[in-house]
């Protein structure tokens, strides 16, 4: 897992994560207590939205779903783009769909779109202007890795290679069907094929990994705050990790990094 914030600025690299929740106040309370985030208002073009800050620097976004939108609560990974309009067209040409945008953020921080790959996994596209993306990474309370969980890597890796310019490298230590996506020789994201273990209620999806100082303690804190531990803490090649859900059911992974 790369921990260099600069790597997240390269076109194609995951550069931002954002959560759409039903209750902004409950969500801010959960993540504020878990990660120490503070929140400030952000662009409001889709409704209430706030950016999360850690020690004064942006780390993530949280938006509120309209009451009549009964959508699953989930984290969205945004991939950097030099030109969101060109990337949106490439998404369509390579078998994906574009559901939102491209459009400008109403505070002139950048231009964005929401798309999905041929297997239905939703992701964002971000063309940064004054906000290039996550300003802190590689430390507790920040996003440190993004991984696409899908049925099999072969059905989607060509899409991401063509649209975003990734080079895919097999990773035997991560399972029988796992790839690392690289840009200019730097690992920036992963794809993991899980076959029939793919959750039926979620389908293909991007998973955000957040760093914590101690995975077991953080997992207990998730439960105390009204969330759930979905997969108990375990050791991996990248550190001790656990899959958890917040108080509204949004799934993410916590991984121990000092």
Distance from C-alpha of 258 to C-alpha of 211, rounded to nearest angstrom:
8
3-class SS string, 164-176: HCCEEEECHHHCC
| Distances in whole angstroms, Cα of residue 199 to Cα of each of 39, 194, 203, 219, 225 | 32, 9, 6, 21, 24
Given pLDDT bands bounded at 50, 70 and 90, which one contains residue 8? low
Given pLDDT bands bounded at 50, 70 and 90, which one contains residue 22? very high
Mean pLDDT within 247-254: 97
| Distances in whole angstroms, Cα of residue 9 to Cα of each of 12, 45, 50 | 8, 24, 21
Given pLDDT bands bounded at 50, 70 and 90, which one contains residue 258? low
Given pLDDT bands bounded at 50, 70 and 90, which one contains residue 67? confident
Is residue 21 scored above 90 in pLDDT? yes
Distance from C-alpha of 246 to C-alpha of 242, rounded to nearest angstrom:
13
Percent of the chain with pLDDT over 90: 78
What mean pLDDT is reported for the chain?
92
Q: Which pLDDT tens digit goes with each residue over 142-171?
A: 999 999 999 999 999 999 999 999 999 998
Distance from C-alpha of 89 to C-alpha of 68, rounded to nearest angstrom:
30
Mean pLDDT within 213-222: 98
Identify the pLDDT of residue 167. 96
Alpha helices in the chain (DSSP H): 24-35, 84-93, 157-164, 215-224
Is residue 172 scored above 80 in pLDDT? no
Length of the chain, in residues:
258
Q: Which pLDDT tens digit goes with each residue over 91-112?
A: 999 999 999 989 998 777 899 9
Is residue 3 scored above 60 in pLDDT? no
Mean pLDDT within 173-179: 83
Mean pLDDT within 118-137: 93
Q: Which of 3-12, 149-158, 232-241 has the highest mean pLDDT?
A: 149-158
Given pLDDT bands bounded at 50, 70 and 90, which one contains residue 7? low
Identify the pLDDT of residue 218. 98
Identify the pLDDT of residue 6. 53
Antiparallel, parallel or unpaired: β 14-21 and 57-64 = parallel
In the DSSP assignment, the letter for residue 47 is: B
pTM for the structure as a whole:
0.94
Distance from C-alpha of 186 to C-alpha of 75, rounded to nearest angstrom:
24
SS3 of residue 9 by DSSP? helix
Helix axes of 157-164 and 84-93: crossing angle, nearest 10 degrees: 150
Given pLDDT bands bounded at 50, 70 and 90, which one contains residue 175? confident
Is residue 2 scored above 80 in pLDDT? no
């Amino acid at each position: 897992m790369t921990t260099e914030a600069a790597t997240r600025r390269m076109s194609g690299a995951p550069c931002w994560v954002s959560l759409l929740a039903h209750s902004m106040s409950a969500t801010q309370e959960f993540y504020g207590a878990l990660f120490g985030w503070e929140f400030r208002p952000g662009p409001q073009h889709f409704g209430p939205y706030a950016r999360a800050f850690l020690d004064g620097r942006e780390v993530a976004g949280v938006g509120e779903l309209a009451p009549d939108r009964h959508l699953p609560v989930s984290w969205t990974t945004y991939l950097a783009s030099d030109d969101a309009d060109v990337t949106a067209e490439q998404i369509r040409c390579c078998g994906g769909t574009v559901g939102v945008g491209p459009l400008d953020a109403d505070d002139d921080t950048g231009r964005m779109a929401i798309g999905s790959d041929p297997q239905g996994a939703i992701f964002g596209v971000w063309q940064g202007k004054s906000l290039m993306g996550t300003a802190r990474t590689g430390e507790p309370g920040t996003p440190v890795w993004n991984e696409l969980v899908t049925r099999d890597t072969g059905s989607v890796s060509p899409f991401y290679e063509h649209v975003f310019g990734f080079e895919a490298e097999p990773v035997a230590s991560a399972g029988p069907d796992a790839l690392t996506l690289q840009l200019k020789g730097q690992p920036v994201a992963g794809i993991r094929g899980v076959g029939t273990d793919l959750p039926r209620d979620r389908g293909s999806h991007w998973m955000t990994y957040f760093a914590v100082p101690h995975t077991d303690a953080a997992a207990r804190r998730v439960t105390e705050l009204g969330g759930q531990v979905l997969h108990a803490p375990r050791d991996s090649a990248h550190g001790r990790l656990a899959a958890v859900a917040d108080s509204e059911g949004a799934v993410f992974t916590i991984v121990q990094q000092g």
